[in-house]
A and B are shown apart, each in its own frame.
Chain A
């Protein structure tokens, strides 16, 4: 296959764009497209301070790499969850993230659940009702809480995550299967800052997971290849596989599914959210972060239960 831009040998075929690209053109195209979507969606500007949530996986490291290349002020945040049973998942992903930051002289914040809160994620999940059967739920809660805390405490304007189009399409698929209206209304690549919640953006929302893997490989970025042991066989993985089958038969199915959802929303598919869907926020008396609860926020309630 030939590169659509230069006619050289293509290293990746993006059937949804009817386009193959060689290494050099792909490594130029991806950051250019990222910049285009950052501008189009008004995610952030070069004057703003960005906090990138980095897991040590391909997407977040690729995002941090591209923001750095594009000239943004982007620092990283790694949350050490202590998932080290068997394959040293957390310690290895932390090592890779720290090496990535150090090699590029980038600033990295590290939150360590065990030293900062006295409990690791697997133990926390076991000890609380929320996480007993589904540790990913506790993990998501911890990450959202800590990302917002660091963004607020260190004065970042925006919080960026490495969610790609496959992540977004799988989430949309899940929420549509359940007609989960309150999640559907909030799913967007840009969530505005609100009452103490930092602005959240997903600059990779237009790229397939496959393109992000290709980018990290071509850039020589070492990432954690092993799956989180808790995520093995997860519903989101099953949905991604289903969507890939559809994509195989109908190239572009995934990108159309998600981008046409965004267009439909823009055209008024959903009514304006009521306070029932987007509740008023209060300040948690323990951590000072915004919460829809009238007393302790969900994170602080979970930590309280685990220590009792």
Chain B
């Protein structure tokens, strides 16, 4: 069975392959690291963190308009 992690951005949920870095996962999802901050279990993490199987990363969008 494929090992995956979950990435959540606003109301969207993505299943991504575990074992690669968050940076790689963001690239595959076409999400710019510049436009989000990444949170794991309430803690901020950098994009070089390796995604662990079954974990969830919440992305906080940082762009505000107006």
Residue of B nearest to A23 (CB): B44
Given contacts A248-B32, A248-B33, are A241 and B44 in contact (CB under 8 A)? no
Chain A residues, Cβ within 8 Å of B34: 208, 210, 244, 247-248
Contact of B65 among A10, A11, A214, A228 (CB under 8 A): A228
Given contacts A12-B44, A136-B66, A166-B63, are A245 and B37 in contact (CB under 8 A)? no
- Interface core residue of B33, B34, B46 (most chain A CB under 10 Å): B34
Chain B residues, Cβ within 8 Å of A23: 44
In the complex, the answer to whether B32 meets A10 with C-beta atoms within 8 Å is no
Q: How far is the CA of A136 from the CA of B33 in the complex (A)?
A: 28
Contact of A11 among B32, B45, B64 (CB under 8 A): B45
Given contacts A12-B44, A214-B44, are A245 and B66 in contact (CB under 8 A)? no
Give the Cβ gap from A133 to chain B, nearest Cβ, in Å. 15
A237 within 8 A of B: yes
Give the Cβ gap from A18 to chain B, nearest Cβ, in Å. 13
In the complex, the answer to whether B60 meets A1 with C-beta atoms within 8 Å is no
A31 within 8 A of B: no
Closest 7 CB pairs of A and B: A237-B65, A231-B66, A231-B65, A11-B44, A213-B62, A234-B65, A244-B34
Contact flags (1/0) for A237-252 with B, using CB distance below 8 Å?
Answer: 1001100110110000
In the complex, the answer to whether B47 meets A13 with C-beta atoms within 8 Å is yes
Give the Cβ gap from A204 to chain B, nearest Cβ, in Å. 13
- Residues on B close to A: CB < 8 A? 32-37, 39, 43-48, 60-66
Residue of A nearest to B48 (CB): A1
Interface residues on A, range: 35 or more
Contact flags (1/0) for A197-214 with B, using CB distance below 8 Å?
Answer: 000000000001110111
Chain B residues, Cβ within 8 Å of A241: 32, 35, 63
Chain B residues, Cβ within 8 Å of A57: 64
Q: Say what secondary structure dominates the interface of chain A.
A: helix
A217 within 8 A of B: yes
A218 within 8 A of B: yes
Given contacts A217-B39, A245-B32, A248-B33, are A209 and B44 in contact (CB under 8 A)? no
Residue of A nearest to B49 (CB): A1
Q: How far is the CA of A245 from the CA of B63 in the complex (A)?
A: 13
Q: How far is the CA of A247 from the CA of B48 in the complex (A)?
A: 18
Give chain A interface residues in 230-273, CB to chain B under 8 Å.
230-234, 236-237, 240-241, 244-245, 247-248
Give the Cβ gap from A90 to chain B, nearest Cβ, in Å. 13
Contact of B32 among A209, A217, A232, A244 (CB under 8 A): A244
Q: How far is the CA of A233 from the CA of B66 in the complex (A)?
A: 9
Contact of A209 among B33, B46, B62 (CB under 8 A): B62
Q: A236-B66, A245-B32 are in contact. List 12 more A-B contacts (CB 8 A).
A: A1-B46, A11-B44, A13-B48, A58-B64, A139-B66, A208-B34, A218-B44, A231-B66, A232-B65, A241-B32, A241-B63, A248-B33
A280 within 8 A of B: no
